[in-house]
Amino acid sequence: MNHPTASLASLPIPRGPRKGTRHFLRDDDLSPADQARVLDLAADLKRAPYDAKPLAGPRTVAMIFDKQTLRTQASFAAGIAELGGHPMLVDGALAGIGVRESVDDVARVLGRQASVIVWRTFEQSRLEAMAEHSGVPVVNALTDEFHPCQLLADLLTIREQKGELAGLTVAFLGDGACNMGNSWLLAGATAGLHVRISSPEGYAPGAAMVDAAAAIAAGTGGSAVLEADPHAAVAGADVVVTDTWISMGKEDEAAPRAQVFGPYSVSAALFAEAKPDAIAMHCLPAYRGKEIDAEVIDGPRSVVWDEAENRRHAQKAVLTWLLEEEDRG
């Protein structure tokens, strides 16, 4: 493809032979070095939001949503505009991807219109099929399995607060089997964090995910463990994280979940068992009085609004990282 590349010249990106189309489908698509570089770039873009224009043209980024969204749509649309591009919203229900026509055919069509495809959908396999057939980079804007853009924003936020990532301890309380639990395992291990996942019985991440994270952590000095006791999980933690107990698509399970998740609520008392300077995180939307107390999420050590803002900076960095490979030509 013949894309304008001159505006990339101002970015600190080393040039070399092109390796192929990059995608960001799950957290471990970024190696530890890639992740560190994307986070550095995100910090640079936060300092100077209008200086880099890798989407100048404007080149189009397709954003497709099969599930509800606020932060993801807003932060991608704003970030794409800041990069000089055009955000094209594709209504997942109207498109009927996989119903009206196959994922493969949608990928082939959108790949002829857009330079990047950003998709929020259900099964990870749908995203993989999109990446296989689009011919352009594909970004996971949340699936049932992963939420990697959120994790980059969260890591950027922790780094801003603590000055570093490697060696810090993060306790994730709640549905460890959901996208956020899996993404904390993989992205946290990649960053060299000590990740503790604390969930009720039946809601822990799968063994394969924990093993994958532990294998990454072996190379970064981090760790990835399950700790069923929420008090043991938060003891000495630098960061306490939670998420809704009922992810999108799980609404039918609200009643049984409400029965077992109570002890994993980030109450003010439980948060006080973490380090005195621990920060509280939540990807939002939040349900005060359920997975987190209002006193915590609205308190002085909550960083949730920084997380929400940092979605834009982190995603701009991901788009830049994806495009640098496309634009090698």
Q: Does 178 bind ligand NVA (CB under 6 A)?
A: yes
Q: Does 179 bind ligand NVA (CB under 6 A)?
A: yes
Q: Which of 243, 282, 312, 313 is catalytic?
A: 243
What is the CB-side half-sphere exposure of residue 295 using CA atoms within 13 A?
8
Q: In what order do the strands lie in the sheet with 86-91?
A: 86-91, 60-65, 116-120, 138-140
Segment near ligand NVA (CB under 6 A); pick from 22-30, 173-181, 219-227, 228-236: 173-181
Site for ligand NVA in 130-169 (CB under 6 A): 147
Is 243 annotated as catalytic? Answer: yes
Nearest to 307 by CA among 147, 81, 156: 156
Q: Which of 59, 194, 257, 311 is catalytic?
A: 311
324 CB contacts (<8 Å, ≥6 apart)?
A: 8, 11, 13, 54
Q: Does 315 bind ligand NVA (CB under 6 A)?
A: no
The residue type of 1 is M
Nearer to ligand NVA, 60 or 244 (CB): 244
Question: Tokens standing for 97?
Answer: 């991807």
Among 41, 139, 155, 180, binds ligand NVA (CB under 6 A): 180
49 cis-preceded (ω within 30 degrees of 0): no
Segment near ligand NVA (CB under 6 A); pick from 36-44, 45-53, 178-186, 272-280: 178-186
User: What H or E segment, with its residue span, contains residue 198?
Assistant: strand 194-198
Q: How far apart are CA 61 and CA 72, in angstroms?
A: 14
Residue 186 C-beta: closest distance to ligand NVA, Å: 15
Residue ranges of the alpha helices (H) in the chain? 32-47, 71-82, 92-95, 103-110, 124-134, 148-162, 179-190, 207-220, 230-234, 254-260, 268-271, 294-297, 304-326
Residue at shortest CB range from ligand NVA: 247
Q: Does 247 bind ligand NVA (CB under 6 A)?
A: yes
Q: Quick check: 128 and 25 in contact, CB under 8 A?
A: yes
Segment near ligand NVA (CB under 6 A); pick from 116-124, 197-205, 242-250, 274-282: 242-250
Is 154 annotated as catalytic? Answer: no
Is 283 annotated as catalytic? Answer: yes
Q: How far apart are CA 25 and CA 133, in angstroms?
A: 14
Nearer to ligand NVA, 80 or 153 (CB): 153
Q: Does 244 bind ligand NVA (CB under 6 A)?
A: yes
Is 120 annotated as catalytic? Answer: yes
Q: Which of 26, 147, 194, 313 is catalytic?
A: 147
Nearer to ligand NVA, 41 or 266 (CB): 266
Residue 180 C-beta: closest distance to ligand NVA, Å: 5
Pairing state between β 239-242 and 169-173: parallel
Site for ligand NVA in 265-284 (CB under 6 A): 283
Is 147 annotated as catalytic? Answer: yes
Among 248, 275, 287, 295, binds ligand NVA (CB under 6 A): 248
Residue 232 C-beta: closest distance to ligand NVA, Å: 23
Nearer to ligand NVA, 178 or 212 (CB): 178
Q: What are phi and psi of 41, to 5 degrees?
A: -65, -40
Q: Quick check: 291 and 269 in contact, CB under 8 A?
A: no
Q: How far apart are CA 316 and CA 41, in angstroms?
A: 9
Q: Does 177 bind ligand NVA (CB under 6 A)?
A: no
Segment near ligand NVA (CB under 6 A); pick from 127-135, 222-230, 241-249, 260-268: 241-249
Residues classed as catalytic = 120, 147, 150, 243, 283, 311
- Which residues lie near ligand NVA (CB under 6 A)? 147, 178-180, 243-244, 247-248, 283
